Amino acid sequence: MTPLPRLSPRHTPAASVTHLPSGGWRLTIPAGGRGAYRLAQLDDYSSLPRHRFPWNPPLTMRLRARVSAPYLPGTWGFGLWNDPFSLSIGFGGTTGRLPSLPNAAWFFYASPSNYLSLRDDLPAQGILAATFSSPRWPALLLVPGLLALPFLALRPVSRLLRRLAGQTVRQDAAVINIDVTQWHEYSIHWLSEVANFEVDGKTILQTPISPHPPLGLVLWIDNQYAAWRPDGSVGYGTLENPQAWLEISDLDML
């Protein structure tokens, strides 16, 4: 068994990360309305530059999890990613990073306000096993893409940019049909050429679209949504939510 790095809690006001009496953690966000971001998160990379993230294949991540309700506004999940989109400056003592293209292998819940797929033939909402695999371009090469962001307001241009993004960022995903309020065992087997996802020992997704290392471990619940839909419309923000929690136990990295 590979020793776990130190997991650092990060949360917004009134949210919390607490230890369960039986071991593991409960990540809780309070009830609230739109317009305020609520997050509870554990990760092992917040103080590291991206090139020093700790995980490389071959690797198996295994844990047990349950959540407070089957349909929660926002997102929650756990797995491996390269923290690509945020500058990560000034939040919880994190190290500053420039944006990059996404690389991830994770279990991801996205409520209906989200649309998190660049391919029209893949699921974009619900309980997903999903991967993203992108070129590891230097951050300066992404500057032209950042300059194009204002043009997302123009639907025809946005549709074109979405198609181009879908050709650059490879992804795969499968829907998981389970009662997430009950304990289940989730596993990700990550190899350089394949990623395999299992729930309770049953394969949910096996895909050759495997993320590029190194990656960090993240476990989270929040009230955020993001959408880049096939018609080119874009949405991003926060949702009204009840009090919600995600419980994690028996985490192993093998």
Q: Are 161 and 118 in contact (CB under 8 A)?
A: no
The confidence score (pLDDT) of residue 224 equals: 95
How far apart are the C-alpha atoms of 49 and 6, rounded to whole Å? 16
How many other CB atoms are there within 10 angstroms of residue 190's CB atom? 23
How far apart are the C-alpha atoms of 29 and 164, rounded to whole Å? 36
The confidence score (pLDDT) of residue 138 equals: 65
**Separation of CA 241 from chain center:** 19
Q: What is the pTM of this model?
A: 0.91
The confidence score (pLDDT) of residue 85 equals: 74
How far apart are the C-alpha atoms of 211 and 232, rounded to whole Å? 26
How far apart are the C-alpha atoms of 66 and 183, rounded to whole Å? 5
The confidence score (pLDDT) of residue 90 equals: 37
Q: Are 64 and 71 in contact (CB under 8 A)?
A: no
Which class does domain 8-253 fall in? mainly beta
Identify which of 64, 52, 50 has the alpha carbon closest to the alpha carbon of residue 219. 64
The confidence score (pLDDT) of residue 147 equals: 59
Q: What secondary structure letter does DSSP report for 52?
A: G
How far apart are the C-alpha atoms of 157 and 218, rounded to whole Å? 33
In 101-150, which residue ranges form alpha helices assigned H by DSSP?
Answer: 143-147
For 92-147, write each residue's pLDDT tens digit.
445 567 778 899 999 999 999 999 899 999 999 999 999 999 997 666 555 555 55
Residue type present at position 223? N
Q: Report DSSP letters for 32-83, one per residue.
A: B-TTS--EEEEES-TTS-GGG-SB-SSEEEEEEEEES-SS-SSEEEEEEE--
Q: What are the backbone angles phi and psi of residue 244, rounded to the nearest 5°?
A: -145, 150
Burial of 53 (0-12, 13-18, 19+ CB in 10 A): buried
Identify which of 211, 185, 198 has the alpha carbon closest to the alpha carbon of residue 56. 211
Q: Are 30 and 37 in contact (CB under 8 A)?
A: no
How many other CB atoms are there within 10 angstroms of residue 217's CB atom? 24
The β-bridge relationship of strands 39-43 and 8-11 is: antiparallel
The confidence score (pLDDT) of residue 129 equals: 98
CB proximity list for 7: less than 8 A, separation 6 or greater: 42, 43, 44, 217, 219
The confidence score (pLDDT) of residue 47 equals: 86
**Within the chain, which residues score under 70 in pLDDT?**
1-5, 86-96, 137-149, 151
How far apart are the C-alpha atoms of 39 and 32, rounded to whole Å? 12
